[in-house]
Amino acid sequence: MKTFKALILLTTLTLFSVSCKDNAQPEVISVAMEQPVPASEKQLDPNATYAKAEFGIEGMTCAMGCAKTIEKKIAKMEGVKSVTVDFDTRLAKVEYDNAKITPTSLEEAVIAVSDTYSVKDMKTVDAFSADFQ
């Protein structure tokens, strides 16, 4: 039994002395990740004719999960200049290139996020309404 204990002690000490390194260097791995292009850096056509649309969105239950997700989905569409979705008023305002986007495609984008969302009272406006934040 004494020999067995001595053997275990010797094995443990050997493992500690081999595994512990004072000058261990962390392994550095570089991973190339694609960075999303912010809406402000999108290439917008300077000769495009931009239209403005306001519409209500029904079915949203939260500001971060619902409103921001819809806002990001619409912002990724080519031809969208700006988009704001306000959870409190359940309204969205979008400025878009009318040669690339139609009100129907905006509605389809909202529904594509989740079929629980629906668009109501879609209207094209010259200027966004004052009561819309």
86 belongs to a structural domain? yes
Q: Please state the length of the chain.
A: 133
Number of domains in the chain: 1
> Is position 116 within any domain?
yes
Q: Look up residue 115 and give its two tokens.
A: 């079929």
Q: Residue 55: what are its φ and ψ, rounded to 5°?
A: -160, 155
Please give the DSSP secondary-structure letter assigned to residue 60.
-
Quick check: is 103 in a domain? yes
Residues 6+ apart with CB under 8 A from 57: 67, 70, 85, 90, 91, 92, 110, 117, 118, 119, 120
Residue 61 lies in a domain: yes
pLDDT for 40-91, tens place per residue?
A: 556 777 778 889 999 999 998 888 888 899 999 999 999 999 999 988 889 9
User: What pLDDT, on a 0 to 100 scale, did the predictor assign at position 47?
Assistant: 77
Confidence bin at 133 (pLDDT 50/70/90): very low
Domain, as residue range, for 63: 48-125
Average pLDDT, the chain: 81
The CATH code of the domain that includes 58 is 3.30.70.100
Sequence letter at residue 18: V
Does a structural domain hold residue 102? yes
Place of tokens 């389809």: 108
Q: Which two tokens stand for residue 22?
A: 């004072």
